[in-house]
Structure 1
């Protein structure tokens, strides 16, 4: 089973004046930490909302020229047994590169495309097995090529 995992990261950024500047710097900083080892991780702005009124907020909180930016990091984890297993792998892989940055798993989505590919592969294997059975039923006397020793003589 393959899963798409979205992890939220709280990235600190220093010496910024606007939320847009903080987000740009946070994405750049995170990209540098993840690349080249995890260049397949997608980095997006996080979504924040007010817990009381539900109003949409900027992904960056600024105080005293310092900011905490919410980023969403998305990656696909292959060949896992359960969704929990996929989330642990994603947190470990990303967390190793982003030291001292808190991570929270937001979403784990199972990718269904794998099931269709497996069923097609099984069908192709069954067809191949039929061919092998037919060729193994031939008598040894009907061989087209002579034995190797006969060729040498």
Structure 2
């Protein structure tokens, strides 16, 4: 199954005068840390609420420094369950955002074609990834699938590897 995962990040920003400036700088800083490896991660302003339920701006400013709440959204392909998708997303994003706290806000299962024949479904998924192979988004499935198979979680992803991905994993292990 494929999942859309939303992760909240608390990004520190220094020497700012107002919330709008802090948000712009935080989004830019986060984008620089994620690109080019994770250029498919969408970055949005987060939402915060007070204990009383009042909506607050995404940036908290004190002494010209800010802590900005951002929401980072990515799609994780070919996972067994929601927890697996959230671990993969946190690992991928966390590796690039050093010293920035992350929290998983939402894991949504993307709709799949419910075919009785599993082979047809795998072939359809291959065609989708191959069609977009020349675009930036075409690399998503391969990168995330490699993480799925090599994240040290036992055999969760090994059984579902497609032949060409198995070859890529074996080649990277030999290097």
TM-score category of the 2 structures, normalised to the smaller one: 0.7 to 0.9
Give the superposition deviation at 1:113. 3.0
- Higher RCO by CA contacts (8 Å cutoff, separation 6 or greater): 1
Q: What secondary structure, in the 3-state scheme, does the structure 2 residue paired with 1:26 have?
A: helix
- The Cα RMSD (Å) is 2.0
Q: What secondary structure, in the 3-state scheme, does the structure 1 residue paired with 2:114 have?
A: helix
Give the superposition deviation at 1:112. 1.1
Q: 2:46 corresponds to which residue?
A: 46
- Runs of 5+ consecutive residues of structure 1 not aligned to the other structure: 125-153
Q: 2:95 corresponds to which residue?
A: 96
Give the superposition deviation at 1:108. 0.2
Q: 1:14 corresponds to which residue?
A: 14
TM-score, L = length of structure 1: 0.75
Q: 2:35 corresponds to which residue?
A: 35
Q: 1:66 corresponds to which residue?
A: 65
TM-score, L = length of structure 2: 0.66
Q: Matched residues in 2 for 1:8 and 1:106: separation?
A: 6
- Runs of 5+ consecutive residues of structure 2 not aligned to the other structure: 124-175
Q: How many residues align?
A: 122
Contact 1:2–1:114 (8 Å) recurs in 2: no
Structure 1 residues 32 and 114, CA gap change in structure 2 (3 angstroms): farther
Contact 1:12–1:26 (8 Å) recurs in 2: yes
Misfit runs of 4+, over 2 Å: 113-116, 118-122
Q: Tell me the alpha carbon deviations over residues 5-51 of structure 1, each in whole angstroms, 9 at most, x when there is no partner.
A: 00000000000000000000000000000000000000000000111
Q: Matched residues in 1 for 2:75 and 2:106: separation?
A: 12
* Structure (1 or 2) with the larger CA radius of gyration: 1
